[in-house]
Copies of this chain bind each other. A is one copy, B any other.
Amino acid sequence: MAVAEIVVVPLGTGSPSISEYVAQCLEILAKNERIKYQLTPMGTIVEGEVSDILRLVQEMHEVPFKNGALRVSTSLRLDERRDKELSMEGKVKAVLEKL
């Protein structure tokens, strides 16, 4: 189980707004029963198996193209531990406990 952040940004669309694309990415996630997710102001954080996350990246990367964008920059940051289970909740809890 890994925790990751995915950011999908269309380039050259003529509008500085990207929330419509992010909303459509969340709709893909809402139908995906294998991945938990959390929307943040700087990206979408997901929790799941690495292979499922990589498939999701490809699906989300397509969203702006389906909406007419000519160029898309997609970034993924993947965090995985093999000594213990990582979860979105657990990662935040581990920090808050040390404040």
Residues of A in contact with B (beta carbons under 8 Å apart): 3-5, 7, 9-20, 22-23, 26-27, 38-43, 45, 47, 50-51, 54-55, 57-58, 61, 65, 69-83, 87-89, 91-92, 94-99
Contact = CB atoms under 8 A, between A and B. Distances in A.
Nearest to A11: B16
Given A9-B9, A20-B98, A54-B54, A78 B70 contact: no
B51 A45 contact: no
Nearest to A22: B95
A52 B88 CA distance: 28
Contacts of A55: 54
A58 B41 CA distance: 21
Copies of this chain held together in the complex = 4
A65 B82 contact: yes
Contact of A54 (B27, B57, B77, B88): B57
